[in-house]
Chains A and B, each alone.
Chain A
Amino acid sequence: MEPIRVDFRDQIASNKRMSFFLIAGIFAVIVIFGYVISMAFEPGYFFLIMIVSIVFSISYIVLSYYNSDKIAIASVGAKKARRDNYREYYRLVEGLTIASGMPMPRLYVMHSPAINAFASGRDPNHAVVCVTDGALEKLEKRELEGVLAHELGHIASYDMRYMTIVAVMVGMIAIIAQIFLRSLWFRSGNNSKGNAIFIVIGIVMAILAPIVVHLVQMSISRKREFVADANAVKFTRYPDGLIGAFKKIQHDNTPVDKKVSKAVSHLFFTNPFKGIGSTHPPLEKRIAILERM
């Protein structure tokens, strides 16, 4: 039976829509949680918690967002790729910037036998792309091009900015939950019946909400990966390149890179930690969708 064809533009649109709804969902959780707390205690308390959590979450994350390109490169020990040594790498990316209408990102290479790549940076004018030695050696020209197109897709979709906003909101919920739970110890016993119900709901939310929104965050990350795959097809009009790269990765038995910390693993092309498939969709699913384009 012929698989139903999927247009990459529709893929981009529907996954972006999904990620928007999910982020709206996280926002709703913040609002509801805040409401529950303000009913359990007083509204003034709610505002205090909100301000504290916003300040902490934003300052930590925004600092790393603003320097996301430098941080990502430094954390994996990547080296700037000199044009003379990596001519084909530069040529491929140049072609893709023409196809996508984007400015040229700064190019880096990471020493690792595994096939992988990542992109970072707060917007297309401050973007970096990094590939592993393994990718440059093991992939064919069109396969490498597909991987690079996927990375440029992340930059074009402002995924760094998007996921930072998500991270800020998830961080806020975690902080709100912590403050709420700890403050329960210090409440004097003046709880009326009405308050008590909200306190119970608040406790339940404080325990469950951080876990739930973390899962939602992972789901958003997976949707953005699908968008990047579809963007790769939009730029190259050649899904087979990316499919070939995925298949090579599936059969690549290179052991896990200890150099890559958990903190940056979500940025990578495929999750370097095989088995923890949360931030990226499973390769089989990504191949299946690409084959329908």
Chain B
Amino acid sequence: MTPLIWGIIGIVGFIVVITFIYYNRFAVLSNRIDNSLSQIDVQLKRRADLIPNLIETVKGFAKHEKAAIKEVTDARKALVSAQGTEAKVKADQGLEKALKSIFAIAEGYPDLKANTNFLELQRELASTEDKVAYARQFYNDSILSYENKRKTFPGNMFASMFGFGVKDYIKIAEAEKKVVKVEF
């Protein structure tokens, strides 16, 4: 076989391999966006699940603080019933506000403050709040990676070929970084 035929085989082989690579890359990046979106939901659900235990503990020591307790209970209801991730994230912000009130009030109940269950729940809630923030961050990063690949050469050629269009993503803003000194 002549060198010309080898050359053509080489070029065709190269194109096939490159197509494989780019298609898979786009599939991975696209999946990552979907996956990270569900991760946000997972963390929000965990937050909601921690609340009943917290309410019970607080009632055990400070059941007269009806307003604050109701605020948290209502906020949790709003979070659980929210439809779609964007709404859930907004509801979570309401929950965070309600929790701030409860934790501020707890300062006035030394027994509650010292209760190990309460402390652990406080830490878990702080941790899940971080995780929600990280999940949102990763979601936005995933979109950025996908868009970069889609808009730069040679990805842009392959993207239109394979039908990887603009991802219909919801804009979830980054959470503001909270710097809270939490004792161990």
Q: Could you list which residues of chain A lie within 8 angstroms of chain B, going by C-beta atoms? A: 87-88, 91-92, 94-96, 98-101, 136, 140-142, 235, 237-238, 240
Contact = CB atoms under 8 A, between A and B. Distances in A.
Nearest to A98: B134
A101 B32 contact: yes
B41 interface: no
A141 B134 contact: no
A98 B131 contact: yes
A88 B32 contact: no
Chain A, interface SS category: helix
B127 A91 contact: yes
Contacts of A87: 120, 123
Contacts, number: 46
Contacts of A140: 181
Interface residues of B, number: 22
A100 B138 contact: yes
Interface string B108-131: 000000000000100110010011
Contact of B43 (A88, A98, A141, A240): A98
Contacts of A94: 127, 131
B54 interface: no
Contacts of B177: 237-238
B156 interface: no
B181 A99 contact: no
Contacts of A92: 127
A254 to B, nearest CB: 19
Contacts of A101: 32, 36, 138, 142
